[in-house]
Structures are given as structure tokens and as C-alpha cells.
């Protein structure tokens, strides 16, 4: 009887061991990457996460080269996003941002061409993005468009007008997201602080998001050619402002610890990774003596403290292009 019990116990132990081994996670084979370029040559970068894939767009090739990744470190070249034969403009394609608008089941790309703000649509994040009417959003010159849709569904477009330097403005968009309501145009941010005017009177590259009842605008200042190109932020209780700049600006500049030794850091955009963690993608100069091509970097943490203070204390990813 005792012998039978011992055998039964051993049988159960063997079965449990088999189940444990069968259900144990299998170690995935490590991917061996062939590096094509040690840097991703994108300025004014923007990252869209869609269906588990990261899509990076930015100033670079006409029509905007797309790069994709699953881990934020290794990026592969894809096609050109914009069909420039079916969109307004022939040169100076700058600062694209791509959004999936679920209610319209469309992807929208906001960008600048020939110093005019534009928008085009596609059924895919890889494009081709086209316009039904080949025209800019406004006849007046402007650059650096960024879309924000509030909790009540109202869409706002933030962009730069050349009104005494580069000045950030906002306007409510039309329901089709193809135009703005000019009567709502409101000035937001201009260069008045010393750190914003080291080289030229420039504020640009706005990105807006909301935490509880507070609106945050991250923006860049100084000319992009400057080593002191930098990032700051402001807050408001309304999408129109008035915007109060953070007294501790800038939050990213060549002399800050999170710059990781880079110069000309700026014009990026916040995004969330697959785990919902907030990050910030930005560009920097090629090195401290050469500006072009500007290249993409990612700060792995965009943090909002309990007192509402924004910081970027994460480590910096140096992405590479792989085959």
C-alpha cells in the first residue's frame, strides 16, 4: 500500500513536471541585424504606432521616406509616403505628422511644402497620401503643423505663422480636417525668453496633449542650425491658451543631461510605446561640427510629476537603419 502511494506521488510529480516544461515560454531566437546606416536620417521626426508597428516620418527626402520598427532601435526603410504628383507643392517638404482618425477610417498626414501648410489622406500609414484638391490649407505662408483633438471631439491645428519671427498659432479645424476656421486663429507662443533667442526669434515644432484638465504644449526654439536649438513647454487651461511657459525651460538642450552629448536637439513629438509609456522623439545635428543630415533620437521617458512638471529623464535611444 505504501509502495503504491509512493509510485502515485512520483507519477503526479512527473506529470506536473511535464506540464510545467510544456507551458514554459520558449526562448525566441535573437534577430541578427545587418546595419545599413548607424543613424536614421530624419529631421523633425514623428512616430506613429499602428497595429503593433512603429512608423517614423520626418524631413528628409521629398515626399517623406517611411521607416518602420518593432523595437524602436532597429528601423527598416519603406517607401515614400506622399505621392507628390497628387499633392500640392514640389519642394521643401518639411515636418510631417501622421494620424489615424478612426471616425473617418483614414490616415491624415499634416506637413509643410514650399512654406505652406498642407494635409493629405491615405488608407494606409505607408501611403500613398494624396489630395482630392491639390492646394494648401491656407494661402498665407506657414509651417510645422500639429493636430490635437480635444475630449469633446473638437479638432485644433497648431502651426507656425511668420508674424514677427516664427510664432506658434492655433485654429479650430473644419469637420473634414482639411481646413481651418480663420475666425478662430489665436496666437499661442512667441520667442521672448533669452533661451529662445540665442539664434533668431523662433518658436516652432508644437505638440499638444492634455493631462486631466491641463493642456501641455511642447515646442522648440532658436534656429534649427543652432547648437542651442532646444525644447521647452508651456501649459494652459484651454486649447487657445493663454500659455504659461515653464520657468525651468529648456527641458532638452545640448547642455542638459538628457541630451546625451548631442547638439541641435529639438523639433520632436511625444508618442506612446506598445506598453503605453510616454516617450519623445527628436532630432539632433549630425555632430558638433556638421549639421546635415540631422538624425533621429528617442528619449525613453516623458514624465509628468505629481505637481504637473514635465521632464524627459529617460535614456536616449540611438536608432539605426537595418536591412
Q: How far apart are CA 276 and CA 96, in angstroms?
A: 23
Neighbours of 239 (CB within 10 A): 21
| SS3 assignment, position 8 | helix
Q: Greatest CA span in the chain, whole angstroms?
A: 96
Task: Tell me the pLDDT of the chain averaged across its residues.
Answer: 92
Side-chain-side CA neighbours of 93 within 13 Å: the count stands at 26
pLDDT of 9 strictly over 60: no
The third-level CATH classification (topology) of the domain covering 36-322 is Tachylectin-2; Chain A (2.115.10)
pLDDT: which is higher, 2 or 31 = 31
Cis peptide before 248, with omega less than 30 degrees from 0? no
DSSP designation for 41:
-
The pLDDT value recorded for residue 10 is 35
Cell 539605426 found at: 320
The model's pLDDT over 14-69, given as tens digits with 9 standing for 90+, comes to: 333 333 333 444 444 567 899 999 999 999 999 999 999 999 999 999 999 999 99
Strands 320-322 and 74-80, by their bridges, are parallel
Closest CA to 220 of 314, 284, 141, 273: 284
pLDDT of 138 strictly over 50: yes
37 neighbors 12 (Cβ within 8 angstroms): no
* pTM, to two decimals: 0.90
Q: How far apart are CA 47 and CA 127, in angstroms?
A: 15
The pLDDT value recorded for residue 201 is 97
CA-based radius of gyration for the chain: 23
pLDDT of 227 strictly over 80: yes
Closest CA to 309 of 230, 232, 194, 204: 232
For 109, the grid coordinates are 498626414
188 neighbors 170 (Cβ within 8 angstroms): yes
pLDDT: which is higher, 118 or 13 = 118
The model's pLDDT over 154-205, given as tens digits with 9 standing for 90+, comes to: 999 999 999 999 999 999 999 999 999 999 999 999 999 999 999 999 999 9
Rounded to 5 degrees, φ, ψ at 10 are -65, -35
For 244, the grid coordinates are 504659461
List residues bridging with 299 in a β-sheet.
280, 316
Q: 179 to each of 136, 152, 174, how far by Cα in Å?
A: 9, 19, 5
The model's pLDDT over 205-215, given as tens digits with 9 standing for 90+, comes to: 999 999 999 99
Amino acid at each position: 500500500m505504501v509502495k503504491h502511494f509512493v509510485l502515485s506521488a512520483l507519477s503526479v510529480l512527473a506529470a506536473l513536471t511535464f506540464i510545467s516544461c510544456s507551458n514554459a515560454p520558449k526562448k525566441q531566437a535573437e534577430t541578427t541585424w545587418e546595419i545599413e546606416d548607424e543613424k536614421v536620417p530624419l529631421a523633425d521626426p514623428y512616430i506613429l504606432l499602428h497595429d503593433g508597428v512603429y512608423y517614423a516620418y520626418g524631413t528628409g527626402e521629398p515626399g517623406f521616406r517611411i521607416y518602420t520598427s518593432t523595437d524602436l532601435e532597429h528601423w527598416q526603410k519603406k517607401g515614400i509616403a506622399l505621392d507628390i504628383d497628387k499633392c500640392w507643392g514640389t519642394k521643401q517638404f518639411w515636418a510631417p505628422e501622421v494620424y489615424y482618425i478612426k471616425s473617418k477610417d483614414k490616415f491624415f498626414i499634416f506637413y509643410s511644402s514650399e512654406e505652406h501648410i498642407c494635409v493629405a489622406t491615405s488608407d494606409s500609414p505607408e501611403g500613398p497620401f494624396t489630395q482630392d484638391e491639390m492646394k494648401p490649407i491656407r494661402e498665407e505662408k506657414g509651417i510645422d503643423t500639429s493636430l490635437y483633438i480635444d475630449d469633446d471631439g473638437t479638432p485644433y491645428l497648431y502651426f507656425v505663422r511668420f508674424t514677427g519671427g516664427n510664432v506658434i498659432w492655433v485654429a479650430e479645424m473644419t469637420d473634414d480636417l482639411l481646413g481651418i476656421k480663420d475666425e478662430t486663429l489665436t496666437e499661442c507662443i512667441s520667442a521672448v525668453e533669452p533661451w529662445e533667442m540665442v539664434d533668431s526669434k523662433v518658436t516652432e515644432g508644437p505638440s499638444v496633449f492634455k493631462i486631466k484638465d491641463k493642456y501641455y504644449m511642447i515646442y522648440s526654439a532658436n534656429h534649427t542650425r543652432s547648437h542651442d536649438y532646444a525644447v521647452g513647454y508651456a501649459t494652459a487651461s484651454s486649447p487657445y491658451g493663454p500659455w504659461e511657459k515653464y520657468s525651468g525651460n529648456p527641458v532638452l538642450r545640448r547642455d542638459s543631461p538628457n541630451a546625451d552629448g548631442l547638439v541641435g536637439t529639438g523639433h520632436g513629438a511625444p508618442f506612446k510605446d506598445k506598453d503605453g509609456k510616454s516617450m519623445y522623439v527628436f532630432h539632433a545635428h549630425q555632430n558638433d561640427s556638421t549639421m546635415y543630415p540631422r538624425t533621429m533620437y528617442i528619449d525613453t521617458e516623458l514624465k509628468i510629476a505629481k505637481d504637473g512638471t514635465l521632464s524627459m529623464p529617460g535614456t536616449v535611444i540611438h536608432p539605426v537603419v537595418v536591412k
